[in-house]
Structure 1
Amino acid sequence: MKQKLLTGLVAAAMLGVMALPATAQNLAIVNGKAVPKERADALKQQLERSGRPITPDIEGQIKEEVIAREIFMQEAQKRGLEAAQDYKAQMELARQTILIRELFADYQKTNPVTDAEIKAEYDKFAAANAGKEYKASHILVEKEDEAKAILAALKKGGKFEDIAKKQSKDPGSGTRGGDLGWANPGSYVPEFTEALVKLEKGKTTPAPVKSQFGWHIIRLDDTREAELPKLDDVKPQIAQQLQQQKLMKFQEELRAKAKVE
């Protein structure tokens, strides 16, 4: 059972163990052929990178897995399966995958994201999200007449939340009585934003507001200064995002320079 579990766990990791030095301390001798210890070491490194702790039990399973694979490889070679076209095609795909992975890893190693780049990205985020946040509610309907009727009902004492639950066609906020939560006003469509920022706290738009989604009745529930996360709290996420952006740009540059006929 343990060996079956390990086989599933390391199937992908073994792709990284394609070419190892011949001169090495042997893990075992299988049918007179030495099995280099580096195979087990490389597999262990792959598992460690995936976050799997290497316990003595896992080390034993790794050893058994490497030995089993050598036995199966020898049998496949005896049967001449290395000459099969399907095997060669799969080996070429595996070689490409590993080599490309190494190319990207080398690029990221030689082009690391700097603290200055992270700070600049954070400053852009802070500038775009600074200022006031608005807590708003709305009721969205399809027709202007419906919106006007709702406004009339509100003036007569109708409860905003109850009407939103019954009539709003916005499934997200409608079930919450129209509550949209806290947001930067710029996150809404322009017509909604323009009407929202003109409202006083607790007030509702005097007339329906039309947008691409329909007709809105908007209420401003509260405002506050935006609470931005500290740089140190989001630094890992920003670094990862910039790293991906750099890698994508590198890939695009290579494709742009390539002559494809």
Structure 2
Amino acid sequence: MFRPTFVAAAALAVAVSFQAPAFAQDDAIVAKIGSVEIHQSDLDTAIANLSQQYQQLPEDQRKIAALSQLVDIKLVAKQAEQAGLQNSEDFKKRMAYLQERELHNAYLRDQFDKLKPEEVKARYEKEVASLPKEEEVHARHILVKTEDEAKEIIKQLDGGKDFVELAKEKSEDSSKSDGGDLGYFTKGRMVPEFEQAAFTLGKGAYTKTPVKSQFGWHVIKVEDKRDAQPPAFDQVEPQVRQIVMQEKYSQIIENAKKDQTVEIMDETLRKGYEDMTKGE
């Protein structure tokens, strides 16, 4: 497993939308409102900007929802223009903010589109190389209700009985169908009594005395010991890619700040801003 700080970083998301609509080459007209045409590209943009609840809908329903919103927007926007609302200072300020936000998003899309697969793989390998060595064991067990039952199983093992067959026959754990196989695990994954016994045993050895836990009495066999394996790259590639994107975003902001002075007059806002951006 990646260390907690690395996993936590994977949950961070840059607070912008990186999804841009894929415009059709043939920008067909899909609807008209009077003489105003609604093109496929307009619909694609509307679909890309649907709220999260609409994004969960099937594709056909998403298109209908987006078209419905688009028609409503254009109808009301026409009335707003006739009322002259586009000339108000409040509207102009909002449009300036929206333009800058979209430029911010467009620049990030451009930068992240240039992200190479080898950059993501290199970041993964860097993290894997920094992980501390941790032992893990591959164990089997046979779980029974009483100590006497466990002692009898150990006696049969001493007499040459096969552990897997005994587990299938005697164990009361859900792993019995797999011969008591618990797979590989690291410390902290099992109850203390079980864990202590498993990590004390050598490879190929089984417990010579029953091990008691809250679940009953165990007979444990260690099949293998090795250094814990990190998750395969294919399993964590999306998370690693997100980390690289977050790091690139932080670098973009840092570089931008070198050319500009950020000055915040309000003391409370200044302190809050500095606290929030401390890790960038």
TM norm structure 1: 0.49
* TM-score for the superposition, normalised by structure 2: 0.46
